[in-house]
Structure 1
Amino acid sequence: MLDTLPRGTICIEDIEMGMARHVQKQVTEQDIELFARISTDRNPVHLDDEYARDTIFEGRIAHGMLTAGLISAVIGEQLPGHGSVYLGQSLRFLAPVRPGEMVRAEVTVTGIDIAKRRVTLDCRCTVDGKPVLVGEATVMAPTRAPA
């Protein structure tokens, strides 16, 4: 299940401080398995119930970068959207995401440099309102101006 605001593009000329967008997605067993296959990260804490029970998490967890990928989805599809170019991302993982949990990824504009087409975004992911990931992204936004 994926819950999003409308997709598309917000050009640098239309971006405003405090503007925010989000995506909400339930992390499934299939998501975790596919991410393991694509990334080649087959750490058993993500894939093996028996192994994961004996870790500090006391059960399986989703890959942190799978959760972080939801931030990329918001940036690439909504804010700024199509035509965005990632320039940098910082992340801090605060809590695990477990299979079946609903993750809300949200970005909020905290800085704009129109001349350089740069946008700084506060990034966060939550489960049941509890922060599981926080960070900051810098992106180049598309423009309406001719190149």
Structure 2
Amino acid sequence: MLDNFPRGTICIEDIEIGMSRHIRKIVTDRDIEMFAEVSTDRNPVHLDDSYAQDTIFQGRIAHGMLTAGLISAVIGEQLPGHGTVYLGQSLKFIGPVRPGDMVTARVTVTGIDHSRRRVTLDCACTVDDKPVLTGEAKVLAPSRKFD
């Protein structure tokens, strides 16, 4: 991964509307193979070059949930970070991610409910500044009051 913010925790008391964090990662063949093994999703569009050539993608693509996992990484490691609990996630897959693509996964705070420690995050992944995934996450943020 390149050009990432530091890992850690931003407590609910310090989160502000508009805060944003991101990671960048090149998706490799190994990433796709490991995701297929862990998820048991062995769809040949992800693993078989000749099969994938005859699909609408005209080549292999990464699993959509592998790309979505990069959003989870930003939320769990940076914003809000360690101690965050996922409450929900919506996703819209807009374009394919191919082996070798550099994916930028970004989350931005769009809503905060301090009394319930709830944070709403706009989520997006891009390849070459083109959107490949959008969505929204709702999370329970860590608090200094519960250390």
TM-score by length of 1: 0.98
Q: How far apart, CA to CA, are the structure 2 residues paired with 1:64 and 1:115?
A: 34
Contact 1:3 1:25 in 2 (8 A): no
Between the two proteins, the alignment pairs up a number of residues equal to 147
Q: Give, in angstroms, the shift of residue 141 of structure 1.
A: 0.2
Q: Give, in angstroms, the shift of residue 4 of structure 1.
A: 1.4
**Paired position in structure 2 for 1:133:** 133
2:129 is equivalent to residue 104 of structure 1: no
Q: Give, in angstroms, the shift of residue 103 of structure 1.
A: 0.0
Identity of aligned pairs, percent?
A: 77
Q: Give, in angstroms, the shift of residue 3 of structure 1.
A: 3.6
2:33 is equivalent to residue 37 of structure 1: no
| Paired letter, 2:139 | V
**Paired position in structure 1 for 2:60:** 60
Contact 1:32 1:63 in 2 (8 A): yes
Unaligned stretches of 5+ residues in structure 2: none
What is the 5 A alignment of 1:83-122? 83-122=83-122
| Paired letter, 2:143 | T
Q: How far apart, CA to CA, are the structure 2 residues paired with 1:116 and 1:36?
A: 37
Q: Give, in angstroms, the shift of residue 135 of structure 1.
A: 0.1
Q: Give, in angstroms, the shift of residue 146 of structure 1.
A: 3.7
| SS in structure 1 at match of 2:66 | helix
**Paired position in structure 1 for 2:21:** 21
Name the Cα RMSD after superposition: 0.9
Q: How far apart, CA to CA, are the structure 2 residues paired with 1:2 and 1:100?
A: 14
| Paired letter, 1:79 | L
Q: Give, in angstroms, the shift of residue 2 of structure 1.
A: 4.1
Higher helix share: 2
| Paired letter, 1:44 | P
Unaligned stretches of 5+ residues in structure 1: none
Contact 1:61 1:98 in 2 (8 A): yes
